[in-house]
A and B are shown apart, each in its own frame.
Chain A
Amino acid sequence: MATRQVVVTGVGVICAAGADPDQFWQRITAADGGITAIEDPRYSAFDARYAGQVPDEWIAPQLPEGDQGLDRTAQLALVAARQALSQAGVDGPDPTRFGIVLGKCQSTPDGAGGYQPMHATGDVVAGRVGSAGPRILVSTACAAGGNAVGLAKDKILTGEADLMLAGGVDPLLFGTYAGFAGLQALSTGRCGPYGRSDGLNLGEGAAFLVVEPLDLALARGATPLAEVAGYGLSADAYHATAPDPTGRGGISAVRRALADAGLEPERVDYVNGHGTGTPANDAMEKKVMRAVFGDRAATVPTSSIKSSVGHTLGAAGAVEAVASLLALRSGVAPPTIGFSEAEVEAATLDFVPNAARELPMDVVVSNNYAFGGNNASLVLTTPAEPRAYEELPAADVVVTGLGPVTAAAVGRAELVTALDEGRRAARGELPDLGGRTYAPRSLWRHMNQLSRMAIAASRLAWEDAGLKMTRAEADKVGVIFATAGGSVESTGGFDESVLANPNNPAVLSFSNVVLNATGGAVCQALGLRGPTTTICHGGASASIAMDCAVETIRTGKAEVVVVVAADEADPRLDQPDLVPATDGTPYEAMLAGASGAVALVVESARHAAERGADPVATVLGSAHTGTEELTDPLSALKDTWDLVDLVLGTGDPAEASAVRATLGAPLSTGTGLTGDARAASGALNLVLAALAVRDGVAPALSSLARPTVGSRTDYVTSSRLPVPARAALVLSQAAGSVCGATVLGRP
């Protein structure tokens, strides 16, 4: 199937090697690296003192007056975003058709140094550049930036957007530095990827690529710089911080990317590697090269720019995608700097050591291998002539397994009972896993609460789906992990340990601080190695993850995907007027935070039918908008209104207003059972929508006396619907960011 060609029309980058793409490329190819000694005295606690730092003087001149008060992360991102849009010649795009996918690893502080949700950076950029279309914060650790480019392409293929900004950003933060130092992952000097391999240097920066359909780019007179020919994702399912030494995860990602691009390995001219400089990564990458390219391996130049810019975490994939694009366009392979004479001699592959090299190229592969074993590979090619294409097949996706792990009920059967009994959990209550370890003991004990809940939910959903798979089939099952805040337990424990003594950080906690750690843990526990992503977008995380799962199946990247959402109650977010589920009812009172994990097995209808599965519900449609108006996604799904017998929201009265103004169906929410478990509540609503359609059960807001909006008759007050719903709609929102709607119907 020839899909629509998607191209890059503009790039932007700011990192240690340059304030903009021109300076960046000039310095990279001149082997003029940007890794410098850290002046900040706090870092003298560590033996490792080098990093790829962006001088503040580079940022301010590239920002208008009004942006000077923004936090540094947002500033870096905006600088790069505007550079890319400017090069692309984008002027006054339709906001609703213009979206952003941003990769970011670290939780970054707001302008006042305080807490802000992960997606806030993306929201600031979106606000400044006029984007109100699809918006996703992806946090697949070091692969996030590359992942973002792939997801942006998907949004164009599904027809949800005509223009996308895909990129990544991460600043240099002390806590993260301490964590990597504690893992003994840092080089004490400037790093030597593929040569000395004695550790990595961290870096900071941002990069963006403007991605749009080739036909529309040409129509508006833009110059395609490169084609996003394909991308591939995989999970190692091996270890929290060490890559699978056989390299099979990395190999799989590259092969999937090439397959997606319809290209054979023989066509690849240059590989931009992950090349962090750690012994484990570098050794693994060499295996990937040999396995993918076979006898040809030593003649395929592969270099890492991390010895020039450092490891920029969430930005890395995007910075390196930009470097790969510039390499493609200029016909020059950037060098891996940092090789000694002896190391050049000893190298068995062509790492383009120390000096750039002229190299005509048409096909470039860019690889990123993240903590938690998430791998991403991107294929960029010289733009081809426009050709005829087919739209993606319509989504024909069903939900076949439900795995709720909440304080009110664990497992599908218990959940139905809890609904009938009107069970509510007390404040701070945790799901009761009943002493069952849902993973091998040696793995389970390394898991924090968040990962344990997520693994339990995934396994329960898997068992509910009745899936029996061979090893080979399990290798292709995707996992999309959704979380608003990641592990509060590990982040807290880690932050405390760094404060106490930066040289003795709690390393187990640190490995769990990366937001995709739990996703990686689920892959490891269940042995799933398919396309894997982590969505970190507040309360909308689960519905966005569901979208990604459907897209993954539609684009043929997997037949089965586990969508698992998990969150913990975060005391930092508790305000005095929030009440526990036992003391108040949603739509009347605001509920306190809760911990939980909910998983769904999502499958192509064909695959489900072939194995004789019993689907619970089918996905009829979804819409996400970069606006705060709930009526926007509702209006986008107007075609389904006649079928929708039930709406499930988060408990926000604004939802009642929006529903009354549009489709007017009875409203309820799963948060009444436990409190607001953010991403997990979003996924619980999807589970409840499926149960409403299958069994005619729903959460009853029976104690609702004086709803803030409307009257009791606007809400669901009995746990049994007169007949199973023909369709149920789930509303989701991330404050100040996006809102979404997902409709499930009868299979």
Chain B
Amino acid sequence: MSTSPFAPAYPEGTACADIAGVQVPVRFSDPTAEYQAVRERAALFDLTGASVIEIGGPGATDFAQRVLARDVEYLTSETTMSSLVLADDGSVVDQVVVWGREDGMYLESSIGRGAELLAHLQERAADADAVTVTDRTDEFGLFALEGPYAWGVVGRVIDAELAAMPFESIVDTRWDGVDIVFARAGLTGEYGYKVLAPRESALDLWVKAAQEATPAGLEVLELAMLEVRQPVLRHETADSAGASVLEMGANWLVDVSKDEFVGRDQVLAAFEAGSTVRTIGFSGTGPVPEPGTEVTVDGEAVGEVVYATRRIGADDTLGLARVRPELAAAGLRLTVADAEVSTLTSPYVTPRSWSTPII
């Protein structure tokens, strides 16, 4: 059981959960306050629970091109991007954030999927040339600042220049004498920044950030991700078995114009073969349905709930369902466990950042 390097700074009453053997903070104080922080000001997220795996060696880029579904040909030590990692059968192993490094790159797993990702990569590396796969999670502390005014926090607490970095760029820089890797990237649709720091110095930086931004737990993070259709892998892939790219609607995390990568042919074949089920968002007023709950129309089963959750700041539930392709559209009324739900257009909440300029 491992804990977060930021745990010593958690307020009294922080609720944690065991996610794949890691103590992840789910709620720090009051979820409503935490949610307001991410949608109205700036929230601080502890990303412990994500693994950081280094791909190194002279064969790193070639290896990455094989295991990642998107193209890293132009990845530099100043860029970051998201990509899926697929299995041989085209199912999703994980969604990773790729951090370009001078030599090689880091792959940051989604929360809770680090072990699956590592196992998959190690297996693949076994018959690859000149590449090393190293789990470096324990060497780092990783946190994120997200919100319409996250840039202001970055400006006040770290550096004003960093606040205006281009989206998906990273920079090696120093913060209070600590060498960090700083990224402009996020998960909630608001302005997002991430700090990857050496574990032994990370706590101090968290404390500084917490003076200006509100610590927010996994509950709020995953709700905010759902609200902008950012995949939450640990909910969207059933058990540990992979889900299908097309069923998840994660097409944009796969680049089929890249010549070769694990799972490419399977995904393309599935695309050609036409739809099985498709994912659509919904909201409703009933109790929160369990994953797997049937979705019906006029009593006829048309799909099932992937997962759902109670909204914060509104009285309803928000969730994803997998339904027949011809019904995977917004603007429909369906039934979930005797309650009426409406299917939605993404994003389900408009990030305030879209209309807030960085000054």
A contacts B: CB pair < 8 Å: yes
- CB pair A238 B74 closer than 8 Å: no
Does A23 lie at the interface of the complex (its beta carbon under 8 Å from any beta carbon of B)? no
Segment of B18-26, B157-165, B277-285 engaged in the interface with chain A: B157-165
What is the CA–CA distance of A279 and B359 in the complex, to the nearest angstrom?
10
Q: Residue-by-residue, is B246-262 near A (CB-CB < 8 Å gives 1, otherwise 0)? A: 00000000010100000
The reply on A244 being an interface residue by CB < 8 A is yes
* Assembled-state Cα–Cα distance A229/B225 (Å): 54
Q: Could you say which residues of chain B place their CB within 8 Å of the CB of A572? A: none
Query: Is B342 an interface position by the 8 A CB rule?
Result: no
A527 to B76, CA, bound (A): 9
Q: CB-nearest residue of chain A relative to B164?
A: A245
* Smallest CB gap from B172: residue in A: A471
B166 at the interface (CB under 8 A from A): yes
Instruction: Please measure, in the bound complex, the distance between the C-alpha atom of A281 and the C-alpha atom of B343, giving whole angstroms.
Output: 42
Query: Is A190 interfacial (CB-CB < 8 Å)?
Result: no
**1/0 contact string of A274-291 vs chain B (CB within 8 Å):** 000001000100010011
Contact A291 B166 (CB under 8 A): no
Of B73, B166, B257, B357, the residue contacting A244 (CB under 8 A) is: B166
- Contact between chains at B102 and A246 (CB < 8 Å): no
Bound CA span A440–B169, Å:
14
Q: Say yes or no: is A248 at the interface (Cβ < 8 Å to chain B).
A: yes
- Smallest Cβ-Cβ distance to A442: which chain B residue: B74
Q: Which residue of B lies closest to A527 (CB)?
A: B76
Our pick among A245, A247, A283, A471 for the contact of B78 (Cβ within 8 Å) is A471
- Complex partner residue of B257 from A238, A247, A441, A471, CB under 8 angstroms: A441
A470 within 8 A of B: yes
Q: How far is the CB of B163 from chain A (nearest CB, A)?
A: 9
Contact A441 B71 (CB under 8 A): yes
User: Is the CB–CB distance between A291 and B161 below 8 Å?
Assistant: yes
Say whether B74 contacts A440, CB under 8 Å.
Answer: yes
User: Which of chain B's residues have a CB closer than 8 A to the CB of A246?
Assistant: 161-162, 164-166
Name the interface residues of B233-292: CB closer than 8 Å to any CB of A.
255, 257
Which residues of chain A in 233-286 are interfacial with respect to chain B, using CB atoms and an 8 Å cutoff? 238, 244-248, 279, 283
Tell me whether A439 is interfacial, beta carbon within 8 Å.
yes
In the complex, which residues of chain B have a beta carbon less than 8 angstroms from the beta carbon of A247? 161, 164
Q: Report the Cα distance A291→B357, complex, angstroms.
A: 21
Interface contact A245-B74, CB-CB below 8 Å: no
The 0/1 profile, CB within 8 Å of B marked 1, for residues 433-454 of chain A is 0000001110000000000000
Are the CB atoms of A248 and B78 closer together than 8 Å? no
Q: B77 interface residue, CB < 8 Å from A?
A: yes
When distances are taken between beta carbons in the complex, the residues of chain A under 8 Å from B357 are: 279
Chain B window 198-213, contacts with chain A (Cβ cutoff 8 Å), 1 for yes, 0 for no: 0000000000000000
Size class of A's contact patch? 10 to 19
Q: Which residue of B lies closest to A474 (CB)?
A: B76
Using Cβ atoms and an 8 Å threshold, which residues of chain B touch A238? 166
Q: In whole angstroms, what is the CA distance A60 to B359 when docked?
A: 46
- Digitize B319-345: 1 where CB-to-A-CB distance is under 8 Å, 0 elsewhere: 000000000000000000000000000
CB distance from A66 to the nearest CB of B (A): 53
Q: How far is the CB of A627 from chain B (nearest CB, A)?
A: 45
Q: Which residues in chain B, 148-168, are within 8 Å of chain A measured between CB atoms?
A: 160-162, 164-166
Residue contact A245 to B166, C-beta cutoff 8 Å: yes
Residues on A with C-beta less than 8 A from B166 are 238, 244-246
Q: Is the CB of A471 within 8 A of B164?
A: no
A471 to chain B, nearest CB (A): 5
Residues of chain B with a CB closer than 8 A to A244's CB: 166
Chain A residues lying within 8 Å of B162, measured Cβ to Cβ, are: 246
Does B78 contact A287, Cβ atoms closer than 8 Å? no
* Shortest distance from the beta carbon of B43 to any chain A beta carbon, whole Å: 23
CA distance A323 to B76 in the complex (A): 41
Q: Is the beta-carbon distance between A471 and B76 smaller than 8 angstroms?
A: yes
**Chain B residue at smallest Cβ distance from A242:** B166
Please tell me if the beta carbons of A470 and B102 are within 8 angstroms of each other in the complex: yes
* Contact in complex: B257, A248 (CB < 8 Å): no
Q: Which residues of A contact B257 (CB under 8 A)?
A: 441
**Which residues on A sit within 8 Å (CB–CB) of B160?**
287, 290
User: Is the beta-carbon distance between A283 and B102 smaller than 8 angstroms?
Assistant: no
Contact call B161/A248, Cβ cutoff below 8 A: yes
Contact flags (1/0) for B180-205 with A, using CB distance below 8 Å?
Answer: 00000000000000000000000000
In the complex, residue of chain A having the shortest beta-carbon distance to the beta carbon of B78: A471
Within the complex, the shortest CB–CB distance from B273 to chain A, in Å, comes to 26
The CA-CA distance from A244 to B257 in the complex, in Å, is 29
Q: A283-B359, A287-B164 are in contact. List 13 more A-B contacts (CB 8 A).
A: A245-B165, A245-B358, A246-B161, A246-B165, A247-B164, A248-B161, A279-B357, A283-B164, A287-B160, A441-B257, A471-B77, A471-B102, A527-B78
Interface residues of B (CB under 8 A from A): 71, 73-74, 76-78, 102, 160-162, 164-166, 255, 257, 357-359
Supply 30 A–B pairs (Cβ within 8 Å), ascending by A.
A238-B166, A244-B166, A245-B164, A245-B165, A245-B166, A246-B161, A246-B162, A246-B164, A246-B166, A247-B161, A247-B164, A248-B161, A279-B357, A283-B164, A283-B359, A287-B160, A287-B161, A290-B160, A439-B74, A440-B71, A440-B73, A440-B74, A441-B255, A441-B257, A470-B77, A471-B76, A471-B77, A471-B78, A471-B102, A527-B78
Closest 8 CB pairs of A and B: A440-B74, A245-B164, A246-B164, A246-B161, A471-B77, A246-B165, A471-B78, A470-B102
